[in-house]
Amino acid sequence: MKARVSLLLVIAVVMASFGFASAQDAPSGDLEIFSWWTGGGEEAGLNALIARFKELYPEVNVINAAVAGGSGVNARAVLTSRMLGGNPPDTFQVHAGEELNALWVAAGLMEPLNDIYEANGWLDQFPEGLLDLITDDEGNIYVVPVNIHRSNVMWYVPAKLEEWGVTVPATWDEFVNVTCPALQAKDVTPLSVGENWTQAHLWESVALGVLGVDGYNGLWNGSTSWTSPEAVAVWDTYGKVLDCANDDMNALSWQDASRRVADGEAAFNIMGDWAAGYFLVDLALEPGTGFAWAASPGTDGAFMMLSDTFGLPKGVANPGAVRAWLSFLGTAEAQDIFNPLKGSLPANTTAQIDNSELYNAYFQDAYSDWTSNAIVGSQAHGLVAPPAFSNGFAAIIAGFQGDHDSATASANTAVLALQTGMVQ
């Protein structure tokens, strides 16, 4: 038996020295990639990544297991039952921060990836603040980020605003008191909003605009009380903002809501910059004319970030293929393939963000803000709050849509924060 093992070893060494790749060097077999990128720039970006990966690793059979539904509303439910049922996808999309840490890392279901980071020199290539979001107290890094997205963006079409005689509002007060009535008088929908999660997305932009950077951060670090007059004022403003939006919001996807702006049916939309990917790839619009952008009202100088990442769950059948995929995802090459389609900035700082042919005016502007603004984290996209909070908050957002009761929403959120361990 011993002799057979050493014979095999000798054969392996000889094969390696003649340039034969070992099984570990040349992964093969199935690789199931789980995400919620099923349309437009998001799907195009993922497909472009998969196409290049297949060129590099022709023996791997990629299975694109994307589940439709913006911001992962449906995918997360499927993922949870698979992870808890002992049938994890080989690799899955998850937001950096609490969505990763409070659930999958806390449950001990993820493999650390430090060796991949060290082998590729990534510890010096990814921003420290981003690495902090995906590293546990023992220094284990669990995922590879593919991008940096911005949440607090207001989208519009310049020629339309001119036609309607309005300008981009600098504050929510201006929007509610000046811009909104002016547009309503012309029968134009001031703000286009979509289904529940896009309302939570709008809410966080309103919160940042009303509370400012410190006040907003305080919601997540406990220094701003959810029942303080300032927090109640966020709900008051949010209610007035909703009154400026389309009645059929619950029936619209984020793409539907963004499209109304591009089509000239609504003046503004608050959405993350995957909307840039949608305008550029799906609608083939020119940045600056076909669509334009500004920080959402009252948030100039602040960049609300989130990051999409992929990791390696414990116990998958083909970890070698996953490691190859993750080792590819973090490279500048992969990030430059993906992000120009996706609307996001590369997370790897050695990517070619200064190449304006690859990254057009939208990206240049976002990058300048990313590197100069105060950075805060998104709740709607998993960075600052655990999934348990976000799920409860979705219900509070839905309740508020019906009753516009700021005091109740504030009190319910305070209780939710307590119940989900967000306030000590």
Looking at residue 70, the DSSP 8-state letter turns out to be: G
* Closer residue to ligand GAL, CB minimum distance, 104 or 235: 104
Q: Residue 196 CB, nearest distance to ligand GAL (Å)?
A: 13
* Closer residue to ligand GAL, CB minimum distance, 176 or 281: 281
**Distance from C-alpha of 398 to C-alpha of 71, rounded to nearest angstrom:** 17
325: exposed, middle or buried (C-beta count within 10 Å: 0-12, 13-18, 19+)? Answer: buried
* Closer residue to ligand GAL, CB minimum distance, 88 or 272: 272
Dihedral sign from CA coordinates of 257, 263, 268, 271: positive
Q: Residue 296 CB, nearest distance to ligand GAL (Å)?
A: 16
* Closer residue to ligand GAL, CB minimum distance, 36 or 156: 36
Q: Which helix (H) or strand (E) holds 109?
A: none
* Inter-CA distances, 379 with 22, 197, 301, 338, Å: 44, 11, 19, 24
The tokens of 269 are what? Answer: 């939309």
Residues that bind ligand GAL (CB under 6 A): 36-37, 42, 70-72, 95, 149, 254, 272, 274, 306, 308, 381
* Inter-CA distances, 374 with 137, 291, 305, 364, Å: 25, 25, 10, 17
The tokens of 281 are what? Answer: 């790839």
* Closer residue to ligand GAL, CB minimum distance, 373 or 378: 378
Q: Residue 86 CB, nearest distance to ligand GAL (Å)?
A: 26
Is residue 321 a contact partner of residue 30, using CB atoms and an 8 Å limit?
yes
* Closer residue to ligand GAL, CB minimum distance, 160 or 342: 342
Q: Residue 286 CB, nearest distance to ligand GAL (Å)?
A: 22
Q: Residue 36 CB, nearest distance to ligand GAL (Å)?
A: 6
* Closer residue to ligand GAL, CB minimum distance, 27 or 377: 377
Q: Residue 360 CB, nearest distance to ligand GAL (Å)?
A: 18
372: exposed, middle or buried (C-beta count within 10 Å: 0-12, 13-18, 19+)? Answer: exposed
Q: Residue 377 CB, nearest distance to ligand GAL (Å)?
A: 12
**Distance from C-alpha of 346 to C-alpha of 67, rounded to nearest angstrom:** 24
